[in-house]
Amino acid sequence: MVGGGQGAFIGGVHRIASRIDGRFELVAGALSSNPERAAASAAELGIAPERSYASYEEMAQQEAAREDGIDAVSIVTPNHMHAGPAIAFLQAGIHVICDKPLAATPEQADEIAKAVKETGAHFVLTHNYTGYPLIRHARKLVAEGALGELRIVQVEYAQDWLTEPPEPDNKQAAWRTDPKQAGAGAIGDIGTHAFNLLSFVSGLKTEALSAELHSFAAGRQVDDNAHILLRMEQGARGMVWASQVAVGCENGLRLRIYGDKGGIEWAQENPNAMTFTRFGEPKQILTRGGAGTSPDGTRVPPGHPEGYLEGFATLYNEAADLISGTGDGSLLPGIAAGLDGMWFIGACIESSGKDGAWVAR
C-alpha cells in the first residue's frame, strides 16, 4: 500500500475491503511521505519493518526484487500523488489498484495510461460503487433491454460535509479542497463516481456536457457544487448534480435511468433495494440477492444488508481473480474508466469557464 498512513481515510477502507474475502494480505507499504509516520503506521498494521519503505520508488524496486514480493499495490494517496507510484509499480511489473480519480491533471493521467499500455500490468481503479450487486443487476437489466431504449439518466451525489469552510486540521478536507493536490473539487471527488456509475450501468458514452460549477463556501478554491447536463449516445439525455454543501445529505449517491420500456431507481445509502418498473406494470422492489436477482457477488442472503465495504471488497476480490487468472475482470473499472473520468473533469471545468457552452469529446 502506498499512502493510507495514520489520519488517512480511504486507506483504511481499502485495507478492510482487501480482507473481507480473504484474498489479500498486507505485507508491505510506503504509508506516508513522513518517514516516522510511515514507520509507526506500518507497525500498527503488522507490516514487517523491513517492508515499510520510506518512498514508493524504493518500495517498487525492492518488492519487485524479492522472491516473496507483492503481487499488487494499492495506491491511496491524494490525487496528485497517483501517477508517480502507479507508473513506478507498473514498470516494476506489479499490478496496481488505485483510488479514483485517476489523477490530478490530464497529463498525469495520460502518463499512467501510457505505462499501463506499455507494461501490460493490470490496473484497477476503485470506482467502488460498481461493486454493489444491485448496480450490477441494473447494468444487466439495461444490457438485456429490460428498460428498452434509454432516454433519461438522472444521477446525483450530494454530501454536506464541506458546508462550512473546513478546519485547517482536517486532513481529508485539506487536500480535497487544494487545487494542486485534488485537481478539482466536488466534480473530481464525487462527480467522477456519479459519472462512472451512470456510464457503467447505462453502457452509454457521454458525447457532450454543459456544466455550471460553483464554490459556495467562502474562500474555497475548488468547486463544491456542480450542475451538469449530458448528451449521450443514442439520443439519451442526462443530468448530474454533485454537491458537498447540501445540508442533510451524508453520502447521497442516487441513480435513476429511464428508457422507453422501463425505469430503475437506486440510492447508495440503502443499497440493498432498487426499484424497477416495466411501463404499465406495478413498480417492483428488487433486493440484493432476492427474487429476480442473482446471488452473484453477494456474501449473505437477502435481508442481511451488505454495504459500502462489501461493494468495495468485490473489486478487490475480482482484482484477485484477474491477477490469479481465475477471472477476466470484465466488470472492473480500469484505465479506460479513469480516462473517461478525467475527460469528465476537464470538460466540466472547460464548459463552466465558457458559461456552460457544450463541450464535446
Q: Should residue 223 be labelled a site residue for a copy of itself when binding is judged by CB under 8 A?
A: no
Amino acid at 66: R
**Where does this chain touch a copy of itself (CB under 8 A) — which range of 55-63, 175-183, 199-207, 282-290?**
282-290
Which residue, 4, 1, 2, is CA-closest to 27? 1
Question: Binding to a copy of itself (CB under 8 A): which residues in 308-327?
Answer: 308-310
User: Grid coordinates standing for 160?
Assistant: 454536506
Q: Should residue 269 be labelled a site residue for a copy of itself when binding is judged by CB under 8 A?
A: yes
Binds a copy of itself by CB under 8 A, chosen from 67, 68, 167, 281? 281
Which residue, 221, 251, 224, 222, is CA-closest to 162? 224
CA–CA separation, 193 and 195 (whole Å): 5
Site track 36-75 with a copy of itself (rule: CB under 8 A), x = hit: ----------x-----------------------------
With vertex at residue 133, the alpha carbon angle to CA 130 and CA 135, rounded to the nearest 5 degrees, is 50
CA–CA separation, 74 and 71 (whole Å): 10
Between 191 and 252, CB nearer to a copy of itself: 252
Binds a copy of itself by CB under 8 A, chosen from 56, 89, 258, 266? 258
| Residues contacting residue 256 through CB under 8 Å, at least 6 positions apart | 152, 153, 154, 155, 263, 264, 265, 266
Question: Binding to a copy of itself (CB under 8 A): which residues in 123-162?
Answer: 147, 151-152, 154, 156, 159-161
SS3 122: coil
Binding-site size for a copy of itself (CB under 8 A) equals 87
CA–CA separation, 126 and 76 (whole Å): 10
Between 55 and 251, CB nearer to a copy of itself: 251
Site track 177-216 with a copy of itself (rule: CB under 8 A), x = hit: ---------------------------------x-x-x-x
Site track 88-127 with a copy of itself (rule: CB under 8 A), x = hit: ----------------------------------------
Cis geometry, peptide bond prior to residue 101 (ω within 30 degrees of 0): yes
The label of the residue with cell 439518466 reads 153
Question: Binding to a copy of itself (CB under 8 A): which residues in 164-183?
Answer: 164
Q: Should residue 19 be labelled a site residue for a copy of itself when binding is judged by CB under 8 A?
A: yes
Binds a copy of itself by CB under 8 A, chosen from 3, 131, 183, 271? 271
Residue 102 half-sphere exposure toward CB, CA atoms < 13 A: 29
Question: Binding to a copy of itself (CB under 8 A): which residues in 337-356?
Answer: 355-356
Q: Should residue 84 be labelled a site residue for a copy of itself when binding is judged by CB under 8 A?
A: no
Q: Are 129 and 311 in contact (CB under 8 A)?
A: yes
Q: Should residue 259 be labelled a site residue for a copy of itself when binding is judged by CB under 8 A?
A: yes
Spatial strand order in the sheet of 123-125: 72-75, 95-98, 123-125
Compute the residue count for the chain: 361
The label of the residue with cell 484477485 reads 320
**Where does this chain touch a copy of itself (CB under 8 A) — which range of 56-64, 80-88, 99-107, 274-282?**
274-282
Query: In whole angstroms, how close is the CB of 267 to a copy of itself at the nearest point?
Result: 10
**Where does this chain touch a copy of itself (CB under 8 A) — which range of 35-43, 134-142, 190-198, 292-300?**
292-300
